[in-house]
Amino acid sequence: MQLLKDRIISDGVAVGTEAVKVDSFLNHQIDVGFMAEIGAELRRRFGDIPRDKVDKILTVESSGIAMACSAATAFDAGNPPPVVFAKKELPRTLTDEVWFTEIMSFTKMKMTAIRIAKKFLCPGERVLIVDDFLAHGQAAAGAVKLVEQAGAELVGVGIVIEKAFQGGGELLRKQGIRVESLAIIDAIEDGTITFQ
């Protein structure tokens, strides 16, 4: 998605050789109009899948929520698939039974539990996973695990920014998972971001 690559170049900030900060438009302050474009592009990438073949869009809190909602609206503004997000914190109000797994967070350098109330991810549901970044693939693989635990069916994984050099995309694609990434970064060197 050229618009996204241009925006990463103009407003993104390389952090060392491993990370990109896109907090001015994607995951701290949100450019809502741009987010709608991202949702529309995610929908286009899965354009062969009709609305009635996607029961739910799944993401991980918190930065994936905005793009998951935009993608849901792009599927059908009048009847969007519900967005469910895996929770990292365990709120006292989450008293239901949950699907649960642990993922390694490379941004936080620690293991994080993610969980979804069983009532929001059910056997047989067709699920599209959406997230902001795909780096080492831990978050996406954790979400896939929750889908498997639930006995739901994975339709694919839609990613806004994939960093190819961290191997998460390869990990998922090797398992036969369909991964669509709107921008794929090959390298971050001396503050310069190079795309595929």
Site for ligand 5GP in 76-105 (CB under 6 A): none
E-only strand ranges, 74-134: 83-86, 98-105, 110-117, 126-134
Taking the least distance from each CB to ligand 5GP, the nearer of 27 and 73 is 27
Do residues 115 and 142 touch, judged by C-beta distance below 8 A?
no
- Measured between alpha carbons, how far is 177 from 119 in angstroms, rounded to an integer? 25
Give φ, ψ of 168 to 5 degrees.
Answer: -65, -40
CA distances from 150 to 67, 155, 167 (A): 23, 14, 26
Question: Does 181 sit near ligand 5GP (CB under 6 A)?
Answer: no
- Pick the stretch among 17-25, 72-80, 149-157, 176-184 that binds ligand 5GP (CB under 6 A): 17-25
Site for ligand 5GP in 103-142 (CB under 6 A): 106-107, 131-140
Taking the least distance from each CB to ligand 5GP, the nearer of 11 and 76 is 11
Q: Contact with ligand 5GP (CB under 6 A): which of 4, 8, 20, 116?
A: 20
Site for ligand 5GP in 35-64 (CB under 6 A): 60, 63
Binding residues for ligand 5GP, rule CB under 6 A, total: 20
- Measured between alpha carbons, how far is 85 from 120 in angstroms, rounded to an integer? 9
